[in-house]
A and B are shown apart, each in its own frame.
Chain A
Amino acid sequence: MAINWFKYSAPTTFYGLAGKLIPWFAVSAAVLCAVGLYIGFVVAPADAQQGEFYRIIFIHVPSSILSMFLYLIMAAYAAMGLIFNTRLSSMMASAIAPTGALFAFISLWTGALWGKPMWGAWWVWDARLTSELILLFLYLGFISLHASIDDPRRADRAAALLAIVGSVNVPIIYFSVQWWNTLHQGSTIKFTGTSMHIAMQQAMFTMLVACWLYAITVTLMRVRSIILERERHTKWITELPEVQA
């Protein structure tokens, strides 16, 4: 039996689906975060050069990856909203932006905390760090621009343009360590292999999945509020059990 996936692109059906999925994603995120921290702090050995300080990567690397991927997903949703005029796509873009901004901030913050003991400085105007800071500003610009326009549909269109143009920054962040001489180290994990200890890899990947699940949980929670707010004049919203309660 074929499932009609397109029906979930309508806010009416997506609202209920998101409500059912949130607890599963939330519990999985919490469990995986606990497992990842246990492996990262108890099982994984100290680094030969960096000592204990390297353990910041278990939050720093997933945050950095999430900040970039969430931006691309946000831009993709914004583009779909702009091209196909689908309501849910623009709502999803608005729901992703604050979480992406927080991950960009955590990436910069934890990077600074790692930089101080390793480089002797909280901040340097390195290509990787600067492009990540621009990413944070792009997120803040998207949120501010969207909030500054009263009509939600016009706000969606204006913010979508910024999101699409800003997406050029993501490959710049990723390839900055190859294109320029940067203080920031290159990728430790490559398709050809890695020199990392297996426990370090396990901790990092577990935390990466936990962060993904957390981001999905919070985005779904936020998009349900956005749907409620924007569709409040419709009949299906007034018939919801939580509204009638």
Chain B
Amino acid sequence: MSLDIWMRENPLSYIWIGSYAVAFLIFAIEIAMVMHKRKVTLQQVRLMREAEKSEEE
């Protein structure tokens, strides 16, 4: 009930906090996860390359 009153008194805050902030947070988390995945994958590839090199030596 109190949320109903608050949202009608502060519609812009309700919209920003409820939908836009959540959407942008999701986008930020997705970008961070994609960047982290690339970092980890690059590390794995480098380790594999180094292991192959040391085997050859």
Report the count of interface residues on B (CB-CB < 8 A). 28
Q: Would A232 and B48 be within 8 Å (CB), given that A242-B42, A243-B42 are in contact? A: yes
Interface string of A217-230 (1 = CB under 8 A from B): 01001101100110
* Cross-chain contact B37 with A222 (CB below 8 angstroms): yes
Q: How far is the CA of A94 from the CA of B44 in the complex (A)?
A: 20
For B20, the chain A residues whose CB sits under 8 A away are 37, 59
Q: Would A53 and B15 be within 8 Å (CB), given that A225-B34, A228-B41 are in contact? A: yes
Q: How far is the CA of A229 from the CA of B39 in the complex (A)?
A: 11
* Cross-chain contact A110 with B46 (CB below 8 angstroms): no
B14, B19, B30, B31: which contacts A60 (Cβ < 8 A)?
A: B19
Residue of B nearest to A237 (CB): B45
The A-contacting residues of B in range 1-57, CB under 8 angstroms, are 4, 7-8, 11-12, 14-15, 18-20, 22-23, 26-27, 30-31, 34-35, 37-38, 41-42, 44-46, 48-49, 52
- Closest Cβ of chain B to A63, distance in Å, is 7
B15, B22, B48, B49: which contacts A109 (Cβ < 8 A)?
A: B22
The B-contacting residues of A in range 107-133, CB under 8 angstroms, are 109-110, 113-114, 116-117
* Cβ-based interface call for A98 (8 A): yes
The B-contacting residues of A in range 199-245, CB under 8 angstroms, are 214, 218, 221-222, 224-225, 228-229, 232, 237-238, 242-244
* Cβ-based interface call for A51 (8 A): yes
* Cross-chain contact B11 with A243 (CB below 8 angstroms): no
Residue of B nearest to A222 (CB): B34
Report the count of interface residues on A (CB-CB < 8 A). 35
* Cross-chain contact B37 with A55 (CB below 8 angstroms): no
Q: How far is the CA of A116 from the CA of B15 in the complex (A)?
A: 12
Q: How far is the CA of A55 from the CA of B14 in the complex (A)?
A: 11
For B48, the chain A residues whose CB sits under 8 A away are 232
B26, B38, B44, B52: which contacts A102 (Cβ < 8 A)?
A: B26
* Cross-chain contact A228 with B30 (CB below 8 angstroms): no
For A63, the chain B residues whose CB sits under 8 A away are 23
The 6 closest A-B pairs by CB, nearest first: A52-B11, A110-B19, A113-B18, A225-B38, A221-B34, A228-B41
Task: Enumerate chain A interface residues (CB-CB to B < 8 A).
Answer: 37, 41, 51-53, 55-56, 59-60, 63, 98-99, 102, 105-106, 109-110, 113-114, 116-117, 214, 218, 221-222, 224-225, 228-229, 232, 237-238, 242-244
Chain A to chain B contacts (Cβ below 8 Å), 11 pairs = A52-B12, A55-B15, A59-B20, A63-B23, A102-B26, A109-B19, A116-B7, A117-B8, A117-B14, A218-B30, A229-B44
Known: A106-B26, A117-B14. 17 other contacts (CB 8 A): A53-B11, A55-B15, A59-B19, A63-B23, A105-B26, A109-B22, A110-B18, A117-B8, A218-B30, A218-B34, A221-B35, A225-B38, A228-B42, A232-B41, A232-B44, A238-B52, A243-B49
